[in-house]
Structure 1
Amino acid sequence: MSDSIDSLYPFLNGRKKDPASENAALLESVRQKSDESLAAKQTFFADHAQALVDAAKAVAKVYRSGGKLFSMGNGGSSCDASHFAVEFQHPVTAGRPSLPAWNLTIDTALFSAVANDVG
């Protein structure tokens, strides 16, 4: 069994693990993932800050003109689209008004029907 699989599923090979070394490995894994996540975010925002500002201005313009926000995603991005819409429907910041927003990928019946009928 490969080391990566063994580290994820140590019970599969029947060997006993040392709890202290397992804990140390898990802590190191958390630290490493945290560092990687931070680096990815810093790179993203450095590369795309202006695009984010432009997108925020575009959304604000739509709402100022009485428009609505529609989001959608495929696969895991559907969850992001849902979260994005909810941020407008139910703002977590106290005092912010709710704004009309819909996640188009929430309707699985519609998507499966279109996929079935259209392909």
Structure 2
Amino acid sequence: MSDLLTAQLEAHIRTAEEATGLLDDVRAVGGVLIDAFERGGTLYTFGNGGSAADAQHFTGELIGHYRRDRRPLPAVTLTTDATVSTCIANDYSFEDVFSRQVEALARPGDVVAAFTTSGRSANIVRGLTAARANGATTLLFAGGDGGASLALADHVLLAPSSETPRIQELHTFLLHALSEMLDAWAAGEDLP
């Protein structure tokens, strides 16, 4: 068992080391989000399974706070309303769960962020497509090659792995790094 655990830790460390090349992209995405918030925009997040949890985690850090006492930032996770999600899945299809909500809510000046390990899920692709059609800025947290979602993203944070656990571990780091930036900005501090 300990060999399996060691292998998992070593894989995590390798992925984290390979992710140092993403730091400039994280800074750029932080700037995009700050600009959106300064202009009155809202961040909409979504994902499936563990990626839905990452989307909710990011929203929680922004509405609550990360480490500083500051104003809440406008963020909404589209997976948190079970009534709406199941209504859309029942009346239309599961593939439309995010696109219907994005179509109803997202506007120019908003940012729509999809969390996904593969970028291939139809509901993720349709959600990003609706965001683009509505004029929102699109952000993709993904892994591997980003799948079909890659072409729909204005900004991409692509984990250097195709393994779901490594991708989700890195997504947690990325959302925490962005939370640190946004928290500092909203508190009036110099950005990290």
Common fold by TM > 0.5: yes
How many residue pairs end up in the alignment? 93
CA distance in structure 2 between the partners assigned to 1:109 and 1:39 by the alignment: 41
Could you tell me which amino acid in structure 1 is paired with residue 56 of structure 2? S
Q: If each structure's helix is expressed as a fraction of its own residues, which one has the higher value?
A: 1
Whose RCO is larger (CA < 8 A, sep 6+)?
2
- Secondary structure of 1:30's partner? helix
1:29 equivalent in alignment to 2:4: yes
Listed one character per residue, the Cα deviations across residues 41-71 of structure 1 (whole Å, up to 9, x for unaligned) are 221332x333222111100001111222211
1:41 equivalent in alignment to 2:16: yes
Question: 5 Å matches for 1:1-119?
Answer: 25-26=1-2, 28-46=3-21, 48-119=22-93
Q: TM-score, normalised by structure 2?
A: 0.44
Q: Shift of the alpha carbon at 1:114?
A: 0.8
Q: TM-score, normalised by structure 1?
A: 0.68
Q: If each structure's strand is expressed as a fraction of its own residues, which one has the higher value?
A: 2
Larger of the two Rg values belongs to structure = 1
Could you tell me which amino acid in structure 2 is paired with residue 38 of structure 1? I
Question: Identical aligned pairs, as a percentage?
Answer: 25
Cα RMSD (Å): 1.6
